[in-house]
Amino acid sequence: MSTHRSFSPQFRLQVVRASRQWGDVSGTHLPRVPARPTGGRALEGSVPAAGRTGLSHPSGDRRRAERAEAARRTGAAVRTAQPGERVVKKSLGQGPPAVAERHAVITQTRAQGAGLSVRHMCEVLQVNRAWYYAQQQPAPAPTPSADEPAICQALHELAKEFSRSGYRRMTAALKRMGYQVNHKRVLRLMHALGLVQPQRKRRVVYTTNSKHGLHVYPNLIRELEVSRLNQLWVADLTSIHLPEDFVYLAALLDAYSRRCIGGPLSRHLDSQLALDGLPHGAA
């Protein structure tokens, strides 16, 4: 059975109102409320002693006082909760201000010399202290290195000799010249100098000429369903690169079995090669 005590909203509201009125939450300042059973235990009408709950511990009182003072000086005070509303921070009606505004409040308070530490102000305004310090330090502006003018001059000289070279070849050439550069830096400098060439279109090699005035034969196998051997043969001519020469191959395949019926080789691409690919008697 859980021993966690559950306080009613009315009791919590009375605790908050008493803490705002007297500044210290102890059992002597609160009115007695009816006991409420919680998990087999009866809750006393008043807040238990400070030694058992830690509500009036010296360090806790000091921290609460510091937070209240920081909230008052930085303008982070909260309104009094009304009956039926959630207490403290979660029912303020408006969301927290933007992070930039909270940073401005902290910076202005530090400039006024209010005597509040950044830790307390960040804790009250819910700002990450490490991130606040990081934002106060502006990022250093990038400074060009000492060898950048020499690299730019070398890029101009290389571009005159190799006008179509890209940043990868330029990087390799600069490294051969003794410069310690990487491809990203070379690409950035080439963009700044206007040396980046537009991307060339891929060269397409056309092997057929469809723009002619000759008769175009219809496709007889467009709707044909191949269901047996020797019903349809397909042929093609191709070249084979040898170490010293080219030879041409006329391949003839059966469309149903994918079996090679003929495949003669020749050093000349002519009609005789196509006829030699047919079986004997088919030509």
**pLDDT tens sequence for the chain (283 residues):** 455 566 666 666 666 666 665 554 444 444 444 444 444 444 444 444 444 444 455 666 777 777 777 666 655 544 454 555 444 444 444 445 677 788 788 888 888 877 778 888 888 888 888 888 887 777 676 677 888 999 999 999 999 998 888 999 999 999 999 999 999 999 999 999 999 888 778 788 777 788 888 898 888 888 889 999 989 999 988 889 888 888 999 999 999 999 998 889 999 888 898 888 888 656 5
The domain locations on the chain are 1-56, 69-74+96-137, 148-193, 233-276
pLDDT for position 184: 94
pLDDT for position 25: 43
Residue 240 backbone phi and psi in degrees, to 5: -125, 125
pLDDT for position 5: 61
pLDDT for position 18: 64
Contact assessment for residue 105 and residue 124, using Cβ atoms and an 8 Å cutoff: no
pLDDT for position 257: 93
pLDDT for position 98: 76
pLDDT for position 72: 65
pLDDT in tens, 88-116: 444 444 445 677 788 788 888 888 877 77
pLDDT for position 172: 94
pLDDT for position 191: 92
